[in-house]
Amino acid sequence: MQANQFFKTHKGFIKVVTSISLLGFTGIPSLTGAESTTSDIDDIRGSKPNIIFILADDMGYNDLSINGQSNFRTPALDRMVTEGIFLADHYAGSTVCAPSRAALLTGQHTGHVYQRGNGMIEFRPDPFDITIATRLQNAGYHTAMIGKSGVGCNSDNATLPNDKGFDHFFGFLAHAAAHRFYPKQLTRNGETISYPINDGHTGELYSGDLFLDDALRYLDQQGTTDKPFFLHLAIQQPHADMSAPAEFRQPFIGQFEENPRPTGGYRPQDHPSATYAAMITYVDHTIRRILQKLRELGIEENTLVIFSSDNGSYSEGGYHYSMHNSNAPFRGGKRDLYDGGIRVPTIAWWPGTIEPGLRSNHISAFWDFAPTALELAGLPVPEEMDGISYLPTLLNIPEEQRQHQYLYWEFYEQGGKQGIRYGEWKGIRLNVRQDRNGPIELYNIVEDPGETNNLAERHPDIVARIAAFMEEAHEPAEFEGFRF
């Protein structure tokens, strides 16, 4: 759905909070609603609300029906948008799981963070790789991570999540194991829990149900205390293996022309389009249950909920993101630094605090979450963080919002890649391992969101500036596997 159609469809709900153009459309006027004031943000800084960050796994920008997806519906997420703010120019930490989650939890981009790629690596003991969970503990928060661990790509250290600041952990220690939706075992606070009725690909206990039930129990426990909490719910859907309970999958069987592709190391999948639709529907079901629980407990007005995805949709496990146009209107997908791989659907919801129906073009990224949480907790932002708090954007106080000079990514697979978002410009360098000073592709991401028209020859001054940013942002990786 293009921007003008979006605003026509949701007139009365959506208000633009910046004048920056969206997908090539400029000058869209503000709709109804009054802006917050500077005094409002002073009241909210240090107020220590509950914070929930829900992270989908490999969900595309266009997988929200309110963004234009027509093959399936996401009513709970759509309602979250109309009751909150949609961050239209928000980017993941990386284009694959582990470094993206590392950026989210540490507040550092992939030119600085220790874990810059997938592989046999985990966060180091404190005082290295300090997570936002540890920092929030120091502000009096109870902390939990449920689902897919973000403090190690592949780890066998059962206490690592707890050691890195999470009072409660239930889920997968290793991302490879998290490819399976019927786990043989999970870890709960250092203890192994076995599920002999599951064999990984099939079974009776779906991991999504286990994680949702645990999250609801956690909210029942912590939502009735005076202590603020931080819950990081890292769900697996829609990552391959492609799997969803029959009640979610069956309604989509026969609805699409199926085009199965090689599945690699994932389970065979005869209905990839139907199953992917079912998995996104399951994501929406999870959101509905979480927000419903907050309302039942009467704590929704003291709880900031953020939803996002760790990178764009994928081409693996039998699915290709083109089947549902999952990453539209952007180019590429997972493992690309084009926007299809890193621009992610991101929503913030906080009834009574965030004005309903906002849509912002503030340029932000995963490493901005930690500074935002710290501002809410009344803590200073450490110098080593690359992020900038986007709390003023959430509160619709644009004059208070600091801006990034640029966003930066580096990625070590497929020959090595670097990317820069610099205002309306996007620069990408490929084959970095072969040539650290190789050519840079240049796109006007506002006028050309599909990154189809390389303008590098027409704007050598912008290319030179982006090359300098790439040099400035990159520090040699401490882990040998992540070095150009």
pLDDT above 70 as % of the chain = 92
At 381-417, the pLDDT tens digits run: 999 999 999 999 999 999 999 999 999 999 999 999 9
Give the range among 21-35, 80-94, 305-319 with minimum mean pLDDT: 21-35
> Is the pLDDT confidence value at 20 over 60?
no
- The pair of structure tokens assigned to 354 is 């965030």
Ordered domains of the chain (ranges, CATH)? 3-23+32-400 (3.40.720.10), 407-476 (3.30.1120.10)
Provide the pLDDT confidence category of residue 18 given band limits of 50, 70 and 90: very low
If we measure between CA atoms, which residue out of 41, 11, 53 comes closest to residue 287? 53
Average the pLDDT over 53-69 and give the result: 97
Give the range among 20-24, 274-278, 364-368 with minimum mean pLDDT: 20-24
At 93-126, the pLDDT tens digits run: 999 999 999 999 999 999 999 999 999 999 999 9
Q: Check: CB of residue 415 under 8 Å from CB of residue 431.
A: yes
Give the range among 106-115, 259-268, 342-351, 421-430 with minimum mean pLDDT: 259-268
Distance CA 321, CA 328 (A): 9
Mean pLDDT for the chain? Answer: 92
* Rounded-to-10 torsion of CA 211, 217, 218, 222: 170
Read off the pTM.
0.93
User: Which has the higher per-residue pLDDT, 80 or 11?
Assistant: 80
Per the DSSP assignment, residues forming a β-bridge with 194 are 185
CA atoms within 13 A on the CB side of 108: 22
State residue 6's pLDDT score.
Answer: 35
At 311-364, the pLDDT tens digits run: 999 999 999 999 999 999 999 999 999 999 999 999 999 999 999 999 999 999
State residue 38's pLDDT score.
Answer: 63
Distance CA 266, CA 263 (A): 5
- Helix, strand, coil share of the chain (percent; to 5): 30, 20, 50
Residues with Cβ within 8 Å of 8's Cβ and at least 6 positions away in sequence, in order, are none
Distance CA 371, CA 384 (A): 11
